[in-house]
Amino acid sequence: MDKTELIKTIENFAPLNLAEDWDCSGWIIDAAEKTQIKKVMLCLTVTDDIIRQAKDCDMIISHHPLFFVPFEYKNINIYCAHTNLDRAEGGTTDELIRVLGFSKGEILGDFLRVVDCDCSVEDLALKLCKISKNVRVVNNKNISHIKKIAFCAGSGSEFIQEAACADAFVTGDIKFHTAVESKIVLFDIGHFESEIFVLNVLADLLKDKVKIVFADEKSPFEILTINFH
């Protein structure tokens, strides 16, 4: 399939005008000699390892942009859908909510979604632990029951004030002082873990047009388990 037509499919779903001004969503590398696309690798972040994995692919489509492009990456088409995909209806945060089994969230501001629920903090924690091995919780007010949950996949720490309308906030990369000052329950499930499901959205958009493969990638963070004798 012609790569221009392929990308139109993504941009019809997540228009580039939704992206933040600082963002680099869109074409990262437009390899002129590779116009026909048969096989696409989807990934969260383009790295040296992803480039090696994609050696038999015609294109890489990532969620995270590259602000610096190494010379050795320039032989393959690379396209990124970042904050435009975050903002799009059915995008990054909406997919996280769907995977967790909650109903469609109400849009709050540019990036937040809020869902109604009726569950305990423990019940929500159990749901989150099923999709992430890296869950951290902040509960300064010893809240036990939750009726509203705010969601922001990725780094949502800056949206804590908007999220205060809910009883709990699920995101990644929560900052220390945000945690100390929070009056609601915070769940930091990890940046990677909160966003990885958006690749399913991209796959559904493109699966009837090209062959899709998912990159083998994981969070750069590992949980240490050390037994001291």
Tell whether 122 and 155 lie within a shared domain: yes
Query: Where residue 45 sits, what CATH number does that domain have?
Result: 3.40.1390.30
In a domain, 228, yes or no: no
Tell whether 180 and 100 lie within a shared domain: yes
Inform me whether the pLDDT recorded for 194 exceeds 90. yes
At 224, the pLDDT band (50, 70, 90 cuts) reads: confident
Half-sphere exposure of residue 46, counting CA atoms within 13 Å on the CB side? Answer: 28
- pLDDT, one tens digit per residue, over 47-79 is 999 999 999 999 999 999 998 999 889 899 999
173: left (phi over 0), alpha (psi -120 to 50) or beta: left
The helix/strand/coil state of 175 is coil
Tell whether 178 and 199 lie within a shared domain: no
Tell whether 57 and 93 lie within a shared domain: no
Tell whether 134 and 69 lie within a shared domain: no
The answer to whether 215 touches 50, Cβ cutoff 8 Å, is yes
In a domain, 137, yes or no: yes
Tokens linked to 141: 């007010």
